Chains A and B, each alone.
Chain A
Amino acid sequence: MNVTLRFAWRNLWRHARRTWLTASAIAFSAALLVFMITLQLGAYDMMIDTSLRVYTGQLQVQRSGYLDKPQMRSTVPEAAALAAELRAAGFPAVAARAQGFALASSGSRSYGVPVSGVEPKYEPLVSTIPKRLAQGRYLREADAYEAVIGATLARNLKIKVGDELTLLGSGRDGSVAATIVPVVGIFDSGNPELDRHLVQLPLAAFQEVFSMGSDAHAIVLSGMELRELPKAATRARALLPADRELVVLEWQELLPGIEQAIEADMVQNWFTYIILIIVVTFSILNTFLMSVLERTREFGVMLALGATPYRIGSLVMVESVLLALLGLGIGLVVGGGLAVYFHLEGFTFPGMAELYAQFGLPGRIHAKLSFNAIAVGPAVIFLFTVVAALYPALRIRRLAPVEAMHAV
């Protein structure tokens, strides 16, 4: 072993108990950070995943420009056929959707609402709405003239299952789009927006009413692991016909609000973490200072022998780094162990699983295992520790040999 390393290592163990206490403080904070950060990132993933499962899907194929300006004529041509191709290429959950706008009326009341045409067979794979029927049933036949609507909308329109709903809008070509369909189901998705507005028709019926031919507006893809999405998007892009201005959008573009919410939450959490780290850093600084002060005389002898203050300062730095690494090593093992456990087993609050189950969602947070999730907390602690160690190390520069040797 390197002489300085050995020297530093032995110096650490001159006060074994103090060294263990300090290492434990570092280990504890490192373990806590690893645990909290992996869980926090796991919670974000769950939040993204659940948000996407409700309706949006993980990826969408759209006509370029449709996202910013959703015009009826910005279509995905031959949508059902393209969806079938994607399915054949191995994408686990693919459904085509068309979207329009209509005045929905029942007897006395009318509301302007978005109307979407969905593939009854595939929509359950990309959305939780089909599982969230409060009354009646979901859509069955691709070409049936029937509708499901959100619970709040049903209440506002005073409509029950079996009642008729009149839709009046304009088709893609500007013609009048009008139909009267029976409401076969009322859903309660838990998403207030969807429950207040949405009307779903089978895709073929929608295409006829809104003069869409065989076009739609989106192909929704879902059922994949979050971390695979960037690759999946690339793969999907390669499968799109080149001449139709189609794009594959990822969730960050489809639901930008989620990323913003996560970033805001992250800033808030880091504020807490940094305070924790600062508290620990001060206790470490205290140890470092003590260990330097009590050796003033010894440093005086070393100076007399011809050691430069820089050399002694380096020794003190090496000691601090070793101490930090010792603590971080223990903290990583403990924190990493916790992270692996909660990655496999999931973490849940009392009542959380039940609450989520109501909405057809998994109610456990699985700690996220990635290099960054595990390393970033300990790395920040290490950085703070090294900065704290600089102060006593730099103090040595002011040491004068004679005074140092007279110190007790």
Chain B
Amino acid sequence: MTEHTVILRNVSKVYRQNAVAVQALTDINLEIPRKDFLCLSGPSGSGKSTLLNLIGGLDKPTTGEITVAGERVDQLGKGGLARLRLHKIGFVFQAYNLIPVLTARENVEFVMQLQGRSPAERGAKAREILQEVGLEGLEGRRPGELSGGQQQRVAVARAIVSEPSLVLADEPTANLDSKTAENLMQLLVHMNKEHHVTFIFSTHDRLVMDFSRRLIKLHDGRIVDDEKRGAGAVG
């Protein structure tokens, strides 16, 4: 478990809906070291979301073992998974990430509140992290009053603020224009460096892939390419 944040062994996922079985992932083996900045790419339906959900403990693999931050995700119960997600994993989704009635700052504080941190600590950390993602002065706005890029920045702030080992981002730039997407990727790169957090994100946008240090290509639920890249994150 030493240097690997995520280890997958022979992971498969079959969705059964009525009589139809969909093989979403087949025999995935993967080791992701600490502080990696990894991109899952592949066409729509290739299994990117499924893989991220399995790693994040949002869903169970049909077969295989998944270890995240030293814990067997496939064997944890509901409570254990909630605890793991709360303390070890941050999520950024494609859209509608934020709780609409809470302000940017309250969205960020929400996870810290779940973690049981004191109000004083929550306030200070929220202010600090929102400043870091470039939202100074917008802390009091609700998601509806923020642009798509700003909303994703809040989501990144919220994912990082719980001090996780791993951040999972499922197509975080899908709803953003290319300039905004690039800025967001730069922010992720920055977070990866500054906070020593492993990042796994998915995309089918070539521009976004170029930020990764390791690029995994999925096709029909199988890994078809695993490419180490020097550029991008390490800079």
A residues near B, CB below 8 A? 3, 7, 10-11, 14, 297-298, 301-309, 311, 400-402, 405
Contact = CB atoms under 8 A, between A and B. Distances in A.
Contacts of A400: 59
B101 A7 contact: yes
B83 A306 contact: yes
Contact of A405 (B93, B110, B114): B93
B59 A308 contact: no
Contacts of B114: 305-307, 311
B93 A306 contact: no
Contacts of B100: 14, 298
Interface in B80-112: 82-87, 89, 91, 93, 96-97, 99-102, 106, 109-111
Given A3-B109, A301-B96, 12 more contacts: A7-B99, A11-B101, A297-B96, A298-B99, A301-B93, A301-B97, A304-B93, A305-B114, A306-B84, A306-B89, A308-B82, A311-B114
Contact of B82 (A14, A298, A301, A306): A306
A308 B115 CA distance: 11
A308 B113 CA distance: 13
Contact of B85 (A10, A306, A402): A306
B55 to A, nearest CB: 12
26 contacts: A3-B106, A3-B113, A7-B99, A14-B100, A14-B101, A297-B96, A301-B93, A301-B96, A301-B97, A304-B56, A304-B85, A304-B93, A305-B86, A306-B82, A306-B83, A306-B87, A306-B111, A306-B114, A307-B114, A308-B79, A311-B114, A400-B59, A401-B59, A402-B53, A402-B58, A405-B93
Contacts of A302: 99
Contacts of A311: 114
B17 to A, nearest CB: 11
A301 B170 CA distance: 13
B192 to A, nearest CB: 20
Contact of A401 (B58, B86, B97, B113): B58
Given A10-B101, A14-B101, A298-B100, A304 B58 contact: yes
A270 to B, nearest CB: 39
B111 A305 contact: yes
A27 B187 CA distance: 51
Interface string B107-140: 0011101110000000000000000000000000
Contacts of A301: 91, 93, 96-97, 99
Nearest to A299: B99
Nearest to A309: B78
